[in-house]
Chain A
Amino acid sequence: MDKNYIEIIRNSKPAQFGILLIVFLFLYHLIPHSEGNYFWRLPSLLGFIPIKLNEVIYAALYDWFPLKVWDPIFEMYEEKAAFREFTKSISKGLLFLITFVRELLLGGDKIIDVFVSDAWLKENDWMSWPALPWTAGTVGAFLLGFQLGGIRLALLGGIGALYVSIFGNWVPSIQTLSFVLITTPICFVLGLSFGIWGYLDKKVETSLQPVLNVMQTMPQFAYLVPIIALFGLGDHAGSIATIVIATPPMIRNTILGLKRISPEVVEAGLMSGCTKSQLMFKVLIPTARRDILNGVNTVIMQCLAMVVIASFVGAKGLGLNLKVALNSLKIGKAAEAGFCIVLIAVILDRFTKAWANKQVDYFENLTFFERYKLLIIFGISILIFSVVAFIANGYFDKINYLYVIPIEKGLTFAHYIDAAVDWVWDTFFYSLNSFNKFLLTQVLGPMKKAYLGMPVAATLTLTMGVAYIIGGIRTGLLVGGMMLFIAMSKYWDRALITMYMATFAVIMASLNGIIVGSIFAQTQRGSKFILSVCDFFETFPSFVYLIPVIFLFNITDTSVLIAAIVYATVPATRYTVWGLNSVPLSLHEAGTMSGVSRMQRWTNIEIPLAFPTIMLGVNQTVVFTLQMVILGALIGTEDLGQLIFGALSRAQDGPGVAITLGLFVSLMAISVDVIVRKWAEERKKALGLD
């Protein structure tokens, strides 16, 4: 009899979960809430980690491996740490490149200054690279679009540039563009190199995986303080932060793409007599082009998503404008800047895709003029517009509108948006407010309280138990270890708040995504439509989502959570559609012939089969949610994000704290990832997919 029960429990996961729940509740109610009780809160044994990290960073910057460096101002040798010289030269190089592109388009004398002395430049103040008039820039965007993808892309580029210029965003847009133009190739080269290395060497790949996991799940904010410490403030710091965040997906895409190549293609390359490098660069990489270009696309999108965050470490451009507008609660202005970012994202997205698909025509036999006609037209237009703008100098008083339309003189639709927001505010104040209040007092408040009221022993038991039941002893220990690591710091309470927000947002976003995805996935056209909507929303930098919610719900947890839910609904929807679409048609037909209703088909056939894919979507949802919750610190929450954000202003111990806290968030995401992935894999195996 006893043996029978044990057998039942061993074979039934629901029974195991039931027991786990009972144990959890038991612990929850039994353990007294007192600071001295280690079952209630663990002592912060790991409190030294941020301090040690700081010590390491500053030691590396100021003490280790001193070099003798010639100081030209004081004309003497100085002892400087090699690492600091290294970071300095990286900063300088990057800044030079970004400034170079920027001045090429906007004009100026900073680049010339690098090559000549200050004094000489002051004497010769005519010595300055002329700005590109926005008119010529617009023609350039039009022609580039035409060259890449015909009239449609030409119109996209031309009208986009025209909009940007007339609405007074030419200068910040070019600043942002120069940032992207320099950062993207660096991410591309780094990502491709590491990707190739990982593909060629299995050991490298396995050791890259956890590093990439952490890099991709660390909140972007967490990188900022250490980067300021290492590289200082400026556009280059923003660029470095972006490189750290945008390179991992590039590496992953490269490895994925290379691995997916059919072995026959490799053999065909070998039998064609390729050398190793020919095989890599002429066969493998071009064949994996689609995945690699998806990586490039992701990199560009990440760059644009990062422009606002990069502005915290001194990057100029649209991101800075958006941040400033948001800080002073100018929703209209913020929306305008946000729209420009999205517009640039869309244009770059389409242009790079078209560029990637371009092919060589062997049969065209063109004269010099035919071959370079677009370039020549562009050259002529620069000449004409520059001359016109130069002549116009005499007519305009202070501002030469033919060079650039400054932001305060440009057209604007900000006041319309402000008016609309005001109208919504006035009309729906009571309903919005009461909804907000209801959510805060009836749902979020109690939930937060419940999370904070969990004794640490209960939390650890629950997480480890779930991991153990789903993934076995190794997964259990792994997840338990990661949780314990967080619990032994003094930030456990904050982490619990982050967890509560993330849990709420993940559940809501997943539900939304599964429902929306299921509705649209019923027809092929619906799937296509909703996937392109997802594409569109994914081009929005995460920051843009915060703009509307702040005004509707003020600075509360509600705002952050709604932004997080909307933001994270995108991947949940996308994966649901993918999963449902992957259900074979024959199963649909088999279901129909068995006489299932639509609802039955959905619950009995589609959802179970799509489940593993949907779970991967939930995984993404977790990452997206955590990013947004941490970002929410910007508008004031009281979780880990706020501390990370706070570390930004603390130069001394900031870097260590930020890295540690970022790591905690990352560990939370990875814990969920480990469990969900195991679960999805198991379901896949059970269903015979794979």
Chain B
Amino acid sequence: MSPTISCSSVYKIFGDNAQKLLSESGGNVDAKKFQEAGCIVGVNDASFEVNNGEMLVVMGLSGSGKSTLLRCISRLTDATAGKILIDGEDICLMNNKQLIELRREKMGMVFQNFALLPHKTVLENIAFPLQVKGVTTDNSIHKALEMVELVGLKGRENYFPRELSGGQQQRVGIARSLAVEPDIWFLDEPFSALDPLIRKEMQDEFLRLQSVLNKTIMFVTHDFDEALRLADRIAIMKDGIIEQLDKPDNIVLNPATDYVRKFTEDVPREKVLKIESIMDSADPNASGDMVVNKNDIIETVAEKILSSKDIIRVTDDNNSVVGSINPSKVIKVLFGG
């Protein structure tokens, strides 16, 4: 199956003479040249794919270009060069009408500061994407009520955004982005403006939603822990360049650059690594009743493993044995050494 989002050599360069330089160089982009000419390179040669139902988290500190990359893919800004395919269609070539059509049918986006319309109630905000699409008031309100229930805001339909807490406002933002039932879901630092406790709660809520909805997601954050918690794969960006793009456990185990290592150093391994990454090959002596799934995070099954005296079998999703795990390995991950 072809990937839902596919980027190849995407560049975004800010600066007055960026266009001129680009046409001079005949379409070939050399980021260094632009930087020398005083331009700012927001996104530098980004190439990656996001598969259907996958969640890619783009992680980076402020100014790393992560939000710019997201905006190139949603075409809120035009990429300077490169190809961005959504379901095989190059959105950089779309005209305004096609773009509106695409956004109305396939895309939803959540914003850091919620970006709710202050003059509309919760219900009207959620119904808004449907109403601009031309859905009748009755139908859009009906659908919006469903969404209100989905994000757990029942009873607050007629509140105005200003009357809600940050977490509740973001629930509205999430409901609005889902109202048109998009395939692709963009989230731009959705939980960064929230208090730590609320943030945790919203992350859980988000995972619950995703397990039900199974959207293709691009999620931008500056919080490495958040990225680890949520992602199928993580892209770590610095100065517009994607430093590493991999699964969370691979990033923690094998950081590609020193920059990435700085993030991974303090990460508690047991919270990230799956059993799969420390298991041995299937051991015929393992005979106990206890089994763990290879996709379990170590922390969640550590107690179970350590309390057993036997070697424990590891199974895959089909319940067939694929390996075994030695408690000493778990101890090593937990306490180092």
Chain A interface residues (CB < 8 Å from chain B): 262, 264-265, 267-268, 270-276, 278, 282-283, 286-287, 289, 359, 361-363
Chain A, residue nearest B120 (CB): A286
Chain B, residue nearest A285 (CB): B119
Q: Which residues in chain B, 100-132, are within 8 Å of chain A measured between CB atoms? A: 100-101, 103-104, 107-109, 111-121, 123, 128-129, 131-132
Within 8 Å CB of A267, what residues of B? 71, 76, 109, 111, 115
Residue B141 lies at the interface, judged by CB distance under 8 Å to chain A: yes
Within 8 Å CB of A265, what residues of B? 115, 117
- In the assembled complex, the Cα of A362 lies from the Cα of B115 at a distance in Å of 23
- In the assembled complex, the Cα of A362 lies from the Cα of B123 at a distance in Å of 9
Contact call B119/A272, Cβ cutoff below 8 A: no
Within 8 Å CB of A286, what residues of B? 117, 119-120
Residue B329 lies at the interface, judged by CB distance under 8 Å to chain A: no
State the total of A-B contacts with C-beta under 8 angstroms.
69
- In the assembled complex, the Cα of A275 lies from the Cα of B112 at a distance in Å of 23
Contacts A268-B115, A271-B109, A282-B128 aside, 11 further interface pairs with beta carbons under 8 A come to A262-B113, A264-B115, A265-B115, A265-B117, A270-B76, A271-B103, A271-B177, A273-B133, A275-B132, A283-B117, A363-B158
A interface, over-half SS = helix
Chain A nearest Cβ from B179, distance in angstroms: 9
Residue B216 lies at the interface, judged by CB distance under 8 Å to chain A: no
Chain B nearest Cβ from A294, distance in angstroms: 15
Q: Which of A274, A283, A289, A359 contacts B100 (CB 8 A)?
A: A274
- In the assembled complex, the Cα of A271 lies from the Cα of B131 at a distance in Å of 13
Residue B180 lies at the interface, judged by CB distance under 8 Å to chain A: yes
**28 pairs from A and B in contact (CB 8 Å cutoff):** A262-B113, A264-B113, A264-B115, A265-B115, A267-B71, A267-B111, A268-B115, A268-B116, A268-B173, A268-B176, A270-B103, A271-B76, A271-B186, A272-B104, A272-B129, A272-B132, A273-B104, A273-B132, A273-B133, A276-B96, A282-B128, A282-B132, A287-B117, A287-B118, A287-B119, A289-B118, A361-B158, A362-B137
Within 8 Å CB of B121, what residues of A? 359
Contact call B100/A273, Cβ cutoff below 8 A: yes
Complex interface bits, B76-114 against A, C-beta within 8 A gives 1, otherwise 0: 100000000000000000001000110110011101111
Q: Which of A271, A276, A287 contacts B108 (CB 8 A)?
A: A271
Contact call A278/B132, Cβ cutoff below 8 A: yes
Chain A, residue nearest B106 (CB): A273
Residue B169 lies at the interface, judged by CB distance under 8 Å to chain A: no
Chain A, residue nearest B138 (CB): A362
Residue B74 lies at the interface, judged by CB distance under 8 Å to chain A: yes
Most chain B Cβ neighbours within 10 Å, of A271, A286, A287, A289: A271
- In the assembled complex, the Cα of A491 lies from the Cα of B249 at a distance in Å of 84
Q: Which of A273, A287, A289, A359 contacts B129 (CB 8 A)?
A: A273
Within 8 Å CB of B177, what residues of A? 271
- In the assembled complex, the Cα of A278 lies from the Cα of B97 at a distance in Å of 13
Within 8 Å CB of B100, what residues of A? 273-275
Contact call A272/B111, Cβ cutoff below 8 A: no
Chain B, residue nearest A359 (CB): B121
- In the assembled complex, the Cα of A271 lies from the Cα of B100 at a distance in Å of 8
Within 8 Å CB of A270, what residues of B? 76, 103
- In the assembled complex, the Cα of A362 lies from the Cα of B113 at a distance in Å of 27
Chain B interface residues (CB < 8 Å from chain A): 71, 74, 76, 96, 100-101, 103-104, 107-109, 111-121, 123, 128-129, 131-133, 137, 141, 158, 173, 176-177, 180, 186
- In the assembled complex, the Cα of A359 lies from the Cα of B119 at a distance in Å of 9
- A272-B76 CB under 8 A given contacts A283-B117, A359-B121: no
Most chain A Cβ neighbours within 10 Å, of B112, B121, B128: B128
Chain B nearest Cβ from A358, distance in angstroms: 11
Chain B nearest Cβ from A293, distance in angstroms: 11
Within 8 Å CB of B158, what residues of A? 361, 363
Chain B, residue nearest A283 (CB): B117
- In the assembled complex, the Cα of A363 lies from the Cα of B112 at a distance in Å of 31
Most chain A Cβ neighbours within 10 Å, of B96, B111, B114, B123: B111
Q: Ordered nearest first, which 9 A-B pairs have the shortest CB separation?
A: A273-B104, A268-B115, A272-B129, A264-B115, A271-B109, A273-B103, A286-B119, A264-B111, A265-B115
Within 8 Å CB of B116, what residues of A? 268
Chain A nearest Cβ from B180, distance in angstroms: 7
Within 8 Å CB of A272, what residues of B? 103-104, 128-129, 132, 176
- In the assembled complex, the Cα of A361 lies from the Cα of B114 at a distance in Å of 24
- A262-B115 CB under 8 A given contacts A267-B109, A274-B100: yes
Chain B, residue nearest A282 (CB): B132
- In the assembled complex, the Cα of A264 lies from the Cα of B111 at a distance in Å of 7
Chain A nearest Cβ from B190, distance in angstroms: 12
Within 8 Å CB of A271, what residues of B? 74, 76, 103, 107-109, 177, 186
- In the assembled complex, the Cα of A264 lies from the Cα of B176 at a distance in Å of 14
Within 8 Å CB of B119, what residues of A? 286-287, 289
- A268-B109 CB under 8 A given contacts A286-B119, A287-B117, A362-B141: yes
- In the assembled complex, the Cα of A660 lies from the Cα of B74 at a distance in Å of 55
Chain A nearest Cβ from B93, distance in angstroms: 18
Within 8 Å CB of B173, what residues of A? 268
- In the assembled complex, the Cα of A271 lies from the Cα of B176 at a distance in Å of 10
- In the assembled complex, the Cα of A363 lies from the Cα of B137 at a distance in Å of 12
Chain B nearest Cβ from A140, distance in angstroms: 28
- In the assembled complex, the Cα of A533 lies from the Cα of B100 at a distance in Å of 49
Within 8 Å CB of A273, what residues of B? 100-101, 103-104, 129, 132-133, 180
- In the assembled complex, the Cα of A178 lies from the Cα of B20 at a distance in Å of 58
Within 8 Å CB of A268, what residues of B? 109, 111, 115-117, 173, 176
- In the assembled complex, the Cα of A270 lies from the Cα of B108 at a distance in Å of 10
Within 8 Å CB of A361, what residues of B? 158
Chain A nearest Cβ from B177, distance in angstroms: 8
- In the assembled complex, the Cα of A286 lies from the Cα of B116 at a distance in Å of 12
Chain B nearest Cβ from A288, distance in angstroms: 10
Within 8 Å CB of A287, what residues of B? 117-119
Chain B, residue nearest A265 (CB): B115
Within 8 Å CB of A278, what residues of B? 132
- In the assembled complex, the Cα of A291 lies from the Cα of B132 at a distance in Å of 24
- In the assembled complex, the Cα of A274 lies from the Cα of B96 at a distance in Å of 11
- In the assembled complex, the Cα of A366 lies from the Cα of B113 at a distance in Å of 37
Within 8 Å CB of A264, what residues of B? 111-115
Chain B nearest Cβ from A376, distance in angstroms: 25
Chain B, residue nearest A264 (CB): B115
Chain B, residue nearest A363 (CB): B158
- In the assembled complex, the Cα of A273 lies from the Cα of B140 at a distance in Å of 15
- In the assembled complex, the Cα of A237 lies from the Cα of B35 at a distance in Å of 60
- In the assembled complex, the Cα of A267 lies from the Cα of B73 at a distance in Å of 13
- In the assembled complex, the Cα of A428 lies from the Cα of B134 at a distance in Å of 72
